[in-house]
Amino acid sequence: MRVDEQLKLKGQIAFVSGAARGLGFAMAEAVAEQGAHVVMTDIDADALASAADRLRAAGGAVETIVLDVSDLDAITRAIDGIVAAHGQIDIVFANAGLSAGSGPRTEAGAMANVDLARWNALLNINLTSVFVTIRSAAAHMIKRRQGRIIVTSSIAGLRGEPMCGYAYASTKAAVANLVRQSVIELAPHNVNINAIAPGPFLTDIGQGRLRDPHVASQFVADVPLGRLGSPHEIKGLALLLASPASSFMTGAVIPIDGGASAY
């Protein structure tokens, strides 16, 4: 089969969490451009509505669900509802996630100052919600012996990262291994699951701290390409992992980081 044919997604139903902006929006855009019907979800109803309008204006087939992934039952309801409405779910991006503030070299980020209520809330959003998303999607995908799940980890989950908080680095490492662990159960059912591990991309994450030139320059210091990523630069990898072009890939955790994890 021609590879350009393998990248077409007509007739496929996709789900994206955290799709109103940033990397999740770019993931939704990537699969919508290739013909998938995309269910964009986010906690931010207004931003979600305008993000969906942008994709529709570009010809995308899009619907929205306002979804807070910290509400674990709501994730399952949303995914079951998509299958009830469309008969299938083919592509799931478990993308929504929050930063945990500054890293261990700062006073606020030092372990003595990590607030455990905030730690647990972050674990719920960055880790448990990803598990529930995978489990809810897999229940349907297994029956059809078809599906692709893509989890957003981080290069902060591959090694220590001075710029990121303890809970963030820990949860991003955990979801990378959650992906590998899930392969054991899902691969026999022809359901593929992989992770994207971005380096610093210019988005609104962490209340937009990457838009502060001082913070950005600290992140960029570790990026051999010498700049932050732009969200559209996630689209190629997102599409590859969402499409039959990656049919023999599962359990991979792929850095996309301007070389930051190379040395």
Q: Where does this chain bind ligand NAD (CB under 6 A)?
A: 17-18, 20-24, 42-44, 47, 67-70, 95-98, 125, 152, 154, 198, 200-201, 203-205
| Assigned token pair, 8 | 């077409």
Of 117, 107, 251, give the one whose Cα is nearest residue 193.
251
- Min separation Cβ 190 and ligand NAD, Å: 26
In this complex, which beta carbon is closest to ligand NAD, that of residue 13 or of residue 96?
96
**H or E stretch covering 42:** strand 37-42
Quick check: is 263 catalytic?
Answer: no
- Min separation Cβ 222 and ligand NAD, Å: 12
Of 20, 13, 29, give the one whose Cα is nearest residue 235.
29
In this complex, which beta carbon is closest to ligand NAD, that of residue 18 or of residue 60?
18
- Min separation Cβ 124 and ligand NAD, Å: 9
The string of DSSP letters for 167-218 reads: HHHHHHHHHHHHHHHHHHHHGGGTEEEEEEEE--B-SSHHHHGGGSHHHHHH
In this complex, which beta carbon is closest to ligand NAD, that of residue 67 or of residue 241?
67
d(CA 189, CA 196): 22
In this complex, which beta carbon is closest to ligand NAD, that of residue 17 or of residue 250?
17
Q: The dihedral of CA 167, 170, 173, 174: what is its sign? A: negative
Q: Which member of 25, 93, 131, 168 is catalytic? A: 168
Name residue 37's beta-bridge partners: 13, 61
- Min separation Cβ 28 and ligand NAD, Å: 11
Neighbours of 214 (CB within 10 A): 7
In this complex, which beta carbon is closest to ligand NAD, that of residue 5 or of residue 212?
212
Neighbours of 146 (CB within 10 A): 17
- Min separation Cβ 155 and ligand NAD, Å: 7
Residues tagged active-site: 168
